[in-house]
Amino acid sequence: MTVGSDGSGVADSTRNTQHATLILKEGAWLIADAHYAHYNTSLYDFLSKLEPEDLPPQMIFMGDIFDLLFGHAPNSIESNRKMVDLLERISMQTEVVYLEGNHDFGLKEIFGDTIKIVERSQQPLIAIFADRRIALHHGDILQGIGYEIYTAWIRNRWVDRILNRIDTICNGAIIRWLENYNRKKRPCYRIEGFEERMRERMKIMKEKYSFDIWIDGHYHQNVMFRFTDVEYVNLPAFACSGSYTIMKNSGNGIEFKESKDRNGV
C-alpha cells in the first residue's frame, strides 16, 4: 500500500513537526494485534528467531500484542513471562515503542523505562515520517460512553489488584475464565461497511487532532482508504496473517509494505 506524496492531506513541514512526539524511522516495523498467549505463540516464534542484524531501526507495537496482560495484576504476567523477557531483550538492540491496547495495559509496571509505553490516554501518538503527520492509535476510540466507562474501570490499578487477589484466592479462576473467553473469539473476519464507518470516524478525528495519516489496529482488517484530506490505514493483525508492516519512503510517497519475511525484504 502506498500513500501518495501530493495529496491534499500534505501540510508544510514546519506545521508537521509541531507537537510531534516521535520521529518514525525509515524501515520501521509496525506490529499489531498478535494476541500472544501460551495458546498462541506465533509472534514469539517469529521474533525469537531474529538475529540482531535482522532487527529494524525501530519497532512500533500497536497494541493487543498480548491477549491478556495487565500490569497491575501479577497473576496475568507469569504466563507471559518469556514474551515479556524477549521484548526487553529486543529493546536493548533497537528502539521499541509500545502503544497499549485493550488487551494489554498498565505496562509501565512491567517494563519500566526499558520500553517507551504509550498509554491509551496518550494516544493518538503524533509522529513524523517523510514530512507527514502520522497519528498512531491502537484503534479502540469513539466506541461510546459505555466502553469509556468500562475501559477506565479495567485500567484502575485498585480494581486490578482486588481482582488479582480474588483470582489468587480462587486458584486462578478469573484468569482462566478470561483466557477461555478470549480463545472462543473469532478474531479474523471482515467488517461490513468498514470504509464508510472509518470515513465518519476520520471526520471526527480531524476536528480533534492535526494529522495527515491515521494508522491503527484493533479491527484486524488490513486495509487502506484515502479520504478527502486524510489517509487511513488499518494494519494487519499478526494473529490472523502472521504479517507486519514496514514503513518506507518511496519516490511515490509513503509505502506501507506488508511482510512476513524475517529479514523484512
Q: What is the pLDDT of residues 206-219, one digit of tens each?
A: 999 999 999 999 99
pTM comes to 0.88
| Domain parsing of the chain, residue ranges | 20-259
If pLDDT is split at 50, 70 and 90, which confidence band does 109 have? Answer: very high
End-to-end CA distance of the chain: 15
pLDDT for 211 equals 95
- Mean pLDDT score of the chain, rounded to an integer? 88
pLDDT for 252 equals 75
Task: Tell whether the model's pLDDT for residue 6 goes beyond 60.
Answer: no
pLDDT for 8 equals 39
% of the chain at pLDDT higher than 70: 91
Is the sign of the CA dihedral 94, 98, 104, 108 positive or negative? positive
d(Cα 195, Cα 208) in Å, to the nearest integer?
Answer: 20
pLDDT for 3 equals 62
Q: What is 20-259's CATH superfamily?
A: Metallo-dependent phosphatases (3.60.21.10)
Asked if residues 21 and 127 have their Cβ atoms less than 8 Å apart, the reply is: yes
pLDDT for 165 equals 87
d(Cα 111, Cα 88) in Å, to the nearest integer?
Answer: 7
Task: Tell whether the model's pLDDT for residue 205 goes beyond 90.
Answer: yes
Pick from 126-135, 141-150, 180-189: least confident? 180-189
**Helical (H) or strand (E) element with 225:** strand 223-226
- Can you tell me which residue has the cell 506490529? 31
pLDDT for 261 equals 54
pLDDT for 177 equals 85
Asked if residues 236 and 258 have their Cβ atoms less than 8 Å apart, the reply is: yes
Instruction: Order across the sheet with 116-118: list the strands.
Output: 2-4, 253-259, 244-250, 29-31, 58-61, 95-99, 116-118
